Amino acid sequence: MADASNDPVWSWPEERWRAMIGRVRAGRPLKPKKWKGGARAAMALSFNLTGEIGAVAGGGGITALSEGHYGARRGLHRLMGLLKQQAIPATVFVPAVAAILYVEEIKAILAGGHELGLHGWIGEESLALSAEAERDLVSGARDALEKIAGLKPVGIRAPGWSFSDNSAAVARGLGLLYDSSLMADDEPYDLTAGGEATGLIEIPVSRQRDDSTFFAPGSGAPAAPEAVFDIFRRELEMAYEEGGLFQLTLHPHLVGVRSRIWIVEELLKIARTLPGLWCATHADVALWCKGRAGG
Amino acid sequence: MADASNDPVWSWPEERWRAMIGRVRAGRPLKPKKWKGGARAAMALSFNLTGEIGAVAGGGGITALSEGHYGARRGLHRLMGLLKQQAIPATVFVPAVAAILYVEEIKAILAGGHELGLHGWIGEESLALSAEAERDLVSGARDALEKIAGLKPVGIRAPGWSFSDNSAAVARGLGLLYDSSLMADDEPYDLTAGGEATGLIEIPVSRQRDDSTFFAPGSGAPAAPEAVFDIFRRELEMAYEEGGLFQLTLHPHLVGVRSRIWIVEELLKIARTLPGLWCATHADVALWCKGRAGG
Amino acid sequence: MADASNDPVWSWPEERWRAMIGRVRAGRPLKPKKWKGGARAAMALSFNLTGEIGAVAGGGGITALSEGHYGARRGLHRLMGLLKQQAIPATVFVPAVAAILYVEEIKAILAGGHELGLHGWIGEESLALSAEAERDLVSGARDALEKIAGLKPVGIRAPGWSFSDNSAAVARGLGLLYDSSLMADDEPYDLTAGGEATGLIEIPVSRQRDDSTFFAPGSGAPAAPEAVFDIFRRELEMAYEEGGLFQLTLHPHLVGVRSRIWIVEELLKIARTLPGLWCATHADVALWCKGRAGG
Amino acid sequence: MADASNDPVWSWPEERWRAMIGRVRAGRPLKPKKWKGGARAAMALSFNLTGEIGAVAGGGGITALSEGHYGARRGLHRLMGLLKQQAIPATVFVPAVAAILYVEEIKAILAGGHELGLHGWIGEESLALSAEAERDLVSGARDALEKIAGLKPVGIRAPGWSFSDNSAAVARGLGLLYDSSLMADDEPYDLTAGGEATGLIEIPVSRQRDDSTFFAPGSGAPAAPEAVFDIFRRELEMAYEEGGLFQLTLHPHLVGVRSRIWIVEELLKIARTLPGLWCATHADVALWCKGRAGG
């Protein structure tokens, strides 16, 4: 929270709400004139591989733990198989604890040519942490991933989208290239803090391009798979039409089940029919956009 | 709240619940025999452009702020482009703070021939305010919009539908022509207070004709875009058949995304095929209906 | 509540949970061999006309009041028009306060050949009332409806399905023929209390045959109208196939809007194509079934 | 709960979260090379028959009790009729109290060749119980079912998926063959505790293959029946394609209504067209898989 006082917002002077909004904000748009290799549009798939850590944070219920296990035991393999079939790379954001639990899976992901991204330590609530505590957890996660993967991640996705006031500085302090947790645009942009460029590139996510919006257990029935396919397809097709980026976030335990995996299969088939669609990792996209703002 | 005592409603005498119901109520129906230019039916589109103010009121989470930013940075431009393509005017209800944040966008809206409507100061909860506090906020908002736009708004939509016991008097005190926050009919009507006409015309909204009913993040999955298009289309077609008004409320950050914007595109195409459909701003409709009750 | 002690249910002796279950329970099935006039199956439509009383009980918010007003001002007329067109009778359950607010509408309902049923006084929570208080409210509601309508209702639907431990005795004490608030079957049945027949016939409702299940505002998006039509159609068709009763509950402010009213129109058209479908009020059905158990 | 201390999970040492995850976990996969009789794939249907016990635990509301009654009075018979028509066996998990309430129905289930499984005593929250209390309730339930059915159940499903730290030991202590409450895989697996095989086989359930995910009353509208059919069909077809197990959980009061029962009818018809699909009870599947891991 930027502000602890209890005055209602409608009593605030302009500088106060301006300051709140300006802490971290989308800056210069980074959509390039052409994508790598002269491509017309780009597709960047990502998976959040969280395994049992959500259930651990939620108190350790055995049924919930088993549901988290499903993602790594079944869902991930289905997803990886489809990517291999179509020779499409992806970025896997993984909390350190899930990486430690699933070392073999992580190695297989890397062997498949995919990118590994940071996703915190164990689902920590960054908003409740001091800058030091957040930095220590992310830094520890970076070390853990490096130890397992033999390389340093260059990107991060805030656990549970809990991008804090310190997250940008923590990411820059670790020399990261990009973040992928915010939603101000469909296209990559410069992340600013207090009006100044942070040097960090944002590869924005969105609720519409995230399977958890439609399938995460909670109140109410999950969405019909046909409707979700339709949404993802439209997002892809309009991104292509605009010459922009189609970014997608998937969760192996949600979309990796038998009645939903076809959504990804059909989507990848459509992607393969679109001439000039560059299929890239989030890091590839961030590197390409860096400094190419406006082409 | 009209009544602070805790007696259960089933112990109330008739005058008490009659008084509660009669504070503000739909009066004389104002559906005209013919719409402007002899048109058979009318269409009045509106957008609520709230930018980051929902996120500010909600505590200033950075991800939420970025989602609000999307509406003004991306969604609004898609919507304005479609309206321009079909030469259809709309009314944009904007809280003062969002107008201050997005001055250039407001100017472009006005240059496009659209109407600007009041939408409170910063998402204040009018139900929790004194009459004076509500009046000061709305009056301040009116001044802010006038300064940016160079003209005085003539209509208001209560922030978050929080139409208070004082809202009608506040609107009349500022000389406004119409309100657009209530739901007692599909057609415009006279707004009464205590059984007396307030002089204010209501351009009613409805849950069915509001994208936030289907797409606002919350518990449960959002609706399928196909289903929402179907609902909006049916509302338009039956309004046309009845010779009435089709009023619609949209939010740039919700319907302005790639997988949903087609809903508006298709709807406008249908509107363009309907002979004798008058496409107007909310102010146009209110002015036409004023004093033409029953034609 | 039948039991105020806090022992967890798994510590209860058999007589205790048996007593709780047996207070009020479905008894002898009353599906007749043939319906009136030798009909093959029966259809009994009902509307709950609550006007503004839900909003009054909910604190009197002006927007909520206006939404309740819509049902009586717009939705009801659309529904009554469709019934007239197809010459199909219905039962309108109305709280006394709504009848007092909408006297002309009630008279028009009766003139149209429809049945008027009790629906409490003003949405009271019967579960929180003493037997005397519940009886006084229902008895007062009966008197109010008799005064307006010139005839005594013979059936009741508990406000908000809050059928209490006293509701059966209250209904019998007023000489009522039937209740329509419970869900133990698709077909009418004898209502028992403590294992003994109460003399009251139950015309059961169900969540699947109630528009509020799909359209009542709350958390999450409302259902797609196409899906609701499909559900109602299947309920009707299978009832017909089984030679049973198709009972339906509608709310004018929910299904009476432009994008949903077609559901009722199409359903009535289908009903009209089914040979030997008896379209009756709830009272007609209860009278026919009384004493005809098993034909 | 495995851990009562309040340290946030991100402060935990590795051994602590490893211990939490390892208490009960999926072990060796038990998908056989071939299913019984050389079958290519297997289908195991289950019903949770809970009658009024959910309503009893929830306070004994009369409307809720009647809704529970519907399952045993109507829904169950529709389901049993479809199974008989297609000669397909199922497993019925029943809490002891529901079995005592519905003795005739239980006998008819057994006469139809179906399996009877344990489902606790009366919806107890196992997570809140001591090991002794849980064992006493399950042991009492086993005795009650044995008395009614004349045979000992060999499998259990935790009431409300509340699989506790003691559930595996309780099940083994009663000599049970399998549990069916967890979700770590689509295929049967060995259940381990602290890394050691418990001797118990898990026949996993899933949210996607459970009608309550889509139809249980709660916040929001229930799913469209067409969408649920589509999901179950895809789960079945992909299980068949993978040569695996299609397990399904249904509730008579949810799927047994007129507008939904067709889902089961159509699904069984499809199952009957798939050559080499072994239709079996959960016990059959567990027995076949036991010791056949990897064929």
Q: Please give, one letter per residue, the 3-state secondary structure of chain C.
A: CCCCCCCCHHHCCHHHHHHHHHCEEEEEECCCCCEHHHECEEEEEEEECCCCHHHHHCCCCHHHHHHHHHHHHHHHHHHHHHHHHHCCCEEEEECHHHHHHCHHHHHHHHHCCCEEEECCCCCCCHHHCCHHHHHHHHHHHHHHHHHHHCCCCCEECCHHHCCCCCHHHHHHHCCCCEECCCCCCCCCEEEEECCEEEEEEECCCCCCCEHHHHHCCCCCCCCCHHHHHHHHHHHHHHHHHHCCEEEEEECHHHHCCCCCHHHHHHHHHHHHHCCCEEECCHHHHHHHHCCCCCC
Say what the pLDDT of residue D295 is: 45
The alpha carbon of residue C220 is apart from the nearest alpha carbon of chain B, in Å, by: 5
**A219 φ, ψ to 5°?**
-80, 145
CA distance D179 to D200: 7
- Cβ separation of D65 and C227 shorter than 8 Å? no
**A139-174 tens-digit pLDDT:** 999 999 999 999 999 999 999 889 999 999 999 999
- CA–CA dist D247, D228 (Å, integer): 15
Predicted confidence at residue C193, as pLDDT, reads 94
**Rounded mean pLDDT of D209-223?**
93
pLDDT, position A220: 87
Residue D219 binned pLDDT confidence (cut-offs 50, 70, 90): confident
Instruction: Count contacts between A and C (CB, < 8 Å).
Output: 4
For residues C34-59, give the mean pLDDT: 96
Handedness of CA D56, D62, D68, D69 (dihedral sign): positive
Question: Could you say which of A122, A221, A261 has the minimum Cβ distance to residue D214?
Answer: A221
Average pLDDT, chain B: 95
DSSP string computed for D24-55: EEEEEE---SSBGGGBSEEEEEEEE--TTHHH
Strand D178-179 versus strand B178-179 pairing type: unpaired
Task: Name the E strands within chain D.
Answer: 24-29, 41-48, 90-94, 115-118, 155-156, 178-179, 189-193, 196-202, 245-250, 277-279
Is any Cβ of chain D less than 8 angstroms from the Cβ of C35? Answer: no
Q: Residue B220: what pLDDT? A: 87
Q: Which chains touch C (3 or more CB pairs under 8 A)?
A: A, B, D
> Cα–Cα distance between D183 and D204 in angstroms, integer?
5
Does residue C162 lie within any of the structural domains? yes
Q: Do A217 and D207 touch (CB under 8 A)?
A: yes
* Percentage of chain B modeled with pLDDT above 70: 97
Q: Is the dihedral of CA C24, C28, C33, C38 positive or negative?
A: negative
Task: Tell me how many degrees the CA angle A150-A153-A157 measures, rounded to the nearest 5.
Answer: 145
Q: Is residue A206 part of a domain?
A: yes
Model confidence at C293, in pLDDT bands (50, 70, 90)? low
Confirm if A57 and A12 have CB atoms less than 8 A apart: no
All residues of chain B having their beta carbon less than 8 Å from the beta carbon of residue C164 are: none
Strands D245-250 and D196-202: unpaired
D15 by Cβ neighbours in 10 Å (0-12 / 13-18 / 19+) ranks as: exposed
Instruction: For strands B24-29 and A115-118, give the pairing.
Output: unpaired
Kindly list the residues from chain A whose CB atom is less than 8 angstroms away from the CB atom of residue D10.
121-124, 137
B294: in domain: no
**In angstroms, what separates the C-alpha of A227 from chain C's closest C-alpha?**
12
C152 touches chain D (CB under 8 A): no
Cα separation, A276 vs C56, in Å, equals 60
Nearest-angstrom CA–CA distance, D124 and D131: 13
Touching A (3+ Cβ pairs <8 A), the chains are: B, C, D
- Written as six digits, the tokens of B219 are 């518990």
Q: What is the pLDDT of residue D5?
A: 67
**Token pair listed for A88:** 């499409």
Distance of residue B147 Cα from the nearest chain C Cα, in angstroms = 31
Query: Under the phi-then-psi rule, with left for phi > 0, alpha for psi from -120 to 50, and beta for the rest, what region is C275?
Result: beta
Given C62, C258, C262, which is nearest B182 (Cβ)? C62
Q: Is A59 on the interface with D (CB under 8 A)?
A: yes
Of the candidates B158, B221, B231, which has its C-beta nearest C259's C-beta? B231
Q: How far is CA B176 from the centre of its chain?
A: 14
- Chain B residues in contact with D220 by the CB 8 A cut-off are 219-220
Report the residue from D57, D217, D220 with minimal CB separation from C9.
D57
Its domain, for residue B101, covers 25-289
Polymer length of chain C? 295
Distance CA D99, CA B273 (A): 63
Asked whether this complex has an ipTM greater than 0.85, the answer is yes
Tens digits of residue pLDDT in B204-237: 999 999 999 999 998 789 999 999 999 999 999 9
Are residues B115 and B282 in contact, defined by beta-carbon separation less than 8 angstroms?
A: yes
Q: Output DSSP code: residue A71.
A: I
Answer yes or no: is B253 within a domain: yes
pLDDT of residue B219: 77
Per the structure, how many domains does chain C have?
1
Task: Give the Cα separation of C136 and C124 in Å (integer).
Answer: 12
pLDDT in tens, B134-157: 999 999 999 999 999 999 999 999
Residue B14 maps to a domain: no
What span, in angstroms and rounded, lies between the C-alpha atoms of A222 and D215?
10
C281-to-B62, C47, C92, C267 alpha-carbon distances in Å: 57, 11, 9, 17
Contacts of A220 in chain C (CB under 8 A): 219-220
> Minimal Cα–Cα distance from D74 to chain C, Å?
6
| Chain C 218-277, residues with CB within 8 Å of chain D CB atoms | 218-224, 227, 230-232, 234-235, 238-239, 242
Low-confidence ranges of chain A (pLDDT < 50): 1-3, 295
> Does A124 contact chain D (CB < 8 Å)?
yes
**Strand D189-193 and strand D24-29: pairing?**
antiparallel
Among residues C291, C294, C283, the alpha carbon closest in space to that of C197 is found at C291
Alpha-carbon torsion D204, D209, D210, D213, what sign?
Answer: positive
Contacts of C218 in chain A (CB under 8 A): none
* Dihedral of alpha carbons A60, A66, A72, A78, sign: negative
Which residues are bridge partners to D279 per DSSP? D43
Is D295 contained in some domain? no
More confidently predicted of C294 and B245: B245
Q: Cβ contacts of residue C246 below 8 Å, gap of 6+?
A: C41, C42, C43, C44, C209, C235, C236, C239, C240
- What's the whole-model pTM score? 0.97
Q: Judge whether C20 lies within some domain.
A: no
Per the CB < 8 Å rule, is D60 touching C1? Answer: yes
d(CA C195, CA D249): 33
Find the residue in B nearest to A218 (Cα).
B220
A5, part of any domain: no
For D44, residues 6+ apart whose C-beta sits below 8 A from its C-beta are: D91, D203, D245, D246, D247, D248, D280, D281, D282, D284, D285
Angle formed at CA C23 by CA C20 and CA C27, multiple of 5 degrees: 120
Distance from CA of B107 to the nearest CA of A (A): 20
Question: Residues C160, C162, C168, C173: is their CA dihedral positive or negative?
Answer: negative
pLDDT of residue C99: 98
How far is the alpha carbon of C232 from chain A, nearest alpha carbon, in Å? 19
How far away is chain D from the Cα of C220, in angstroms, using its nearest Cα? 5
Percent of chain B with pLDDT over 90: 95
Q: E strand or H helix at B94, and its extent? A: strand B90-94
Look over chain D and give the mean of its residue pLDDT values, rounded to a whole number. 95
pLDDT digits (tens, 9 = 90+) for B61-71: 999 999 999 99
CB pairs < 8 Å spanning A and D: 127
Residue of B nearest to C63 (CA): B182
pLDDT of res. C292: 72
**B-C interface: how many C-beta pairs under 8 angstroms?**
127
In this structure, of B53-62, B200-209, B284-293, C112-121, the range with the lowest mean pLDDT score is B284-293
Q: What is the pLDDT of residues C66-114, one digit of tens each?
A: 999 999 999 999 999 999 999 999 999 999 999 999 999 999 999 999 9
CATH number at residue B109: 3.20.20.370
| Helical packing angle, A261-273 and A76-86, nearest 10° | 20
Separation CA C61–CA B1 (nearest Å): 7
pLDDT tens digits, residue range C162-180?
999 999 999 999 999 999 9
